[in-house]
């Protein structure tokens, strides 16, 4: 079995596990997606990159965008200032997340990370 996303107007409406023969008899546009793919990397059962084919950059979820030009799925833009980044097709903040072991939340008003106290 494989996973397939039903796409309407570029937006994922449904994701199911099915055989290709079943999908071939369905109406609408169904695009295969990989449960083991995220951020443009294919992961094995142990959660580690395994060198497999990273099918369409990310596993599709309801509400995701399917970009037919680039043949990828990506999630909703979390904040207006964030941009999508190829080849991961993951949204990135305009300022990198601090790497100091602390926890932060994004503040769109100041376009900065604010430490959680």
Both 51 and 65 in one domain: the answer is yes
- Predicted confidence at residue 1, as pLDDT, reads 87
Domain that holds residue 3: 1-74
Both 26 and 82 in one domain: the answer is no
The shares of helix, strand and coil residues in the chain, as percent rounded to the nearest 5, are 5, 40, 55
Both 15 and 61 in one domain: the answer is yes
Both 63 and 81 in one domain: the answer is no
- Predicted confidence at residue 33, as pLDDT, reads 98
**Rounded-to-integer distance, Cα 111 and Cα 100, Å:** 19
Contact 74, 83 (CB under 8 A): no
Both 23 and 47 in one domain: the answer is yes
Q: Would you write out the chain's pLDDT as a tens digit for each of its 117 residues?
A: 899 999 999 999 999 999 999 999 999 999 999 999 999 999 999 999 999 999 999 999 999 999 999 999 999 999 999 999 999 999 999 999 999 999 999 999 999 999 998
How many structural domains is the chain composed of? 2
Both 12 and 45 in one domain: the answer is yes
Both 66 and 97 in one domain: the answer is no
**Rounded-to-integer distance, Cα 30 and Cα 3, Å:** 10
**Rounded-to-integer distance, Cα 100 and Cα 112, Å:** 15
Residues 6+ apart with CB under 8 A from 102: 115, 116
């Amino acid at each position: 079995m494989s996973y397939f996303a039903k796409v309407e107007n570029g937006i994922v409406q449904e994701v199911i596990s099915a055989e290709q023969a079943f999908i071939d008899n369905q109406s609408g546009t169904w695009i295969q997606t990989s449960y083991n793919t995220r951020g443009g990397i294919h992961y094995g059962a142990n959660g580690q990159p395994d060198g497999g084919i990273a099918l369409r950059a990310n596993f599709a979820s309801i509400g995701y965008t399917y970009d037919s030009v680039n043949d990828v799925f990506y999630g909703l833009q979390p904040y207006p200032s964030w941009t999508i980044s190829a080849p991961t097709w993951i949204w990135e903040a305009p300022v990198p997340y601090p790497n100091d072991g602390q926890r932060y939340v994004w503040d769109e008003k100041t376009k900065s990370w604010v430490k959680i106290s």
